[in-house]
Amino acid sequence: MSRKPGFDVFSRRAFLRSAATLGAAAVAGPTFAQSAMDDILDSSRRGNWDDQFDAKASRSADAVASNNPILGPGAVPNIQQAIADYQQIVSAGGWSDVASAQKLQLGVVDPGVQTLRQRLMISGDLPREAGISNSFDSYVDGAVKRFQARHGLPQDGVLGEYTLKAMNVPATTRLNQLNTNLVRLQTMSGDLGQRYVMVNIPATYIEAVEDGRVALRHVAVVGRISRPTHILNSKIYDVTLNPYWTAPRSIVEKDIVPLMRKDPTYLKRNNIRLIDGSGREVAPETVDWFADKAPNLMFRQDPGKINAMASTKINFHNTNNEYMHDTPQQGLFNKLMRFESSGCVRVQNVRDLITWLLRDTPGWSRQQIEKVINDRVNTPIKLAVEVPVYFVYITAWSARDRVVQFRDDIYQMDGATELALQTGYGMEKPAGSPDDDLLPQ
């Protein structure tokens, strides 16, 4: 009887799962059933590599997630343990570069997979029991996804350009990176507060921490290389719903004036008003946009859907005119490199964060927040209790479970050029490019 290629593998595995689940469940319930199924699927007699499509291997990236905050009491001992682990790796000779004439991904059979397996075993991403072969099976797929998760890369299991670059950073360089970040974490090892917000600039994400555990995580967009987000320790004192956006002088000069020279309707189309020192509105057509200096006026955008900060602005004390805010360009959060702003931090799912921030401020439930946002009324809200916020530059850290995380050194502060793998994404862009979110900070 003829059979389609690959039919045996999946039908046999489906049968084994069904048999193990049904047979064992009848005896001892779901826990025993799962154990029996795993025993069958993990058997050393599982056959050739085609049989190794163990679903749990592809879920290994999930194990990278942790409720341990990057900052906090465990941060220093955790990275010290990582340093000890990587010192052993370096002493044993580190790892070899991974290379192949073809793209390595699930289903490929290539001599380069042997080196890939060894590389993943050394860094703890692939169990040594998986063995060495030329086959990129589901165990390697799961290990690559775990590696990608630890390095902030898309978890597709494919050795694309940036995954390969990250994988071929020498072990000695990674060890030095850990030591560099140990010093950074030591400077933040004091009492951070019972509740606080941390923005990790190179990781482009935010943690809201409470009682030593991560309560919320948010994807972020931060400043590009030419307009970096500043490292700071401060306190959040205000949340403004339906904010006005006032363009900083730097953006007026670098971006808005050149745009007005090209398109005199730019301000009107984007609901930006010109306000003089007396609070009076000035008509754009009365301004000489080709003068040597930009006009000494306030450029203020009205609240609304196209406002550069969309629904929300989060204010904290600082001298750089930086803040956290919503954005009308939600697609930016799906990008690999989220170094797009002029210094401020855009927050995905920002309404979850402000609900958490306003928890102790009477009268501001999630329902009330949503109502005010829908009414489009500019509403500043002073927090009943100011919440500490820390903008940090941490490119390497570790959790209690010894899962070590690395990120691209986008601002080139780690002292090794090979750690700035994707710097081109953070370079200056032409004014008015599609990702500029109406050129907000």
Query: pLDDT by residue (tens digit) across 162-207?
Result: 999 999 999 999 999 999 999 999 999 889 999 999 999 999 999 9
The owner of tokens 């007005």 is 260
Residue-by-residue DSSP string for 4-26? -TTHHHHHHHHHHHHHHHHHHHH
Per-residue pLDDT of 201-215, as tens digits, reads 999 999 999 999 999
Cα 23 versus chain centre, distance:
43
Query: Among residues 88, 60, 149, which one has the least CA distance to residue 405?
Result: 149
pLDDT at 189: 86
Q: Between residues 85 and 58, which one has the greater pLDDT?
A: 85
Calculated CA dihedral for residues 404, 221, 414, 125, nearest 10 degrees: 20
Averaged pLDDT score across all residues of the chain: 84
pLDDT of residue 256: 95
Nearest CA-CA partner of 221 in 308, 156, 159, 157: 308
Residues of the chain within CATH 2.40.440.10 domain(s) are 193-436
What is the percent of the chain with per-residue pLDDT over 90, rounded to a whole number? 70
Structure tokens at 90: 């370096």
Say which range, 26-30, 224-228, 395-399, 408-412, has the weakest mean pLDDT: 26-30
Across 79-93, average pLDDT: 97
As beta bridge partners, residue 381 has: 239
In Å, how far from its chain's centre is CA 418? 20
Closest CA to 315 of 248, 236, 373: 236
Kindly provide the b/e burial profile for residues 148-179, where b requires at least 16 CB atoms within 10 angstroms of the residue's own CB: bbbbbbebebbbeebbbbbbebebebbbbbbe
Among residues of the chain, what percentage have pLDDT more than 70? Answer: 81
Burial status of residue 269 (CB atoms within 10 A of its CB: 0-12, 13-18, 19 or more):
exposed
Instruction: Find the DSSP H helices in 282-365.
Output: 350-357
**Predicted local distance difference test score (pLDDT) of residue 415:** 83
The CATH code for residues 193-436 is 2.40.440.10
Distance CA 112, CA 98 (A): 7
Q: Are strands 404-406 and 396-398 parallel, antiparallel or unpaired?
A: antiparallel
Predicted TM-score of the model (pTM): 0.78
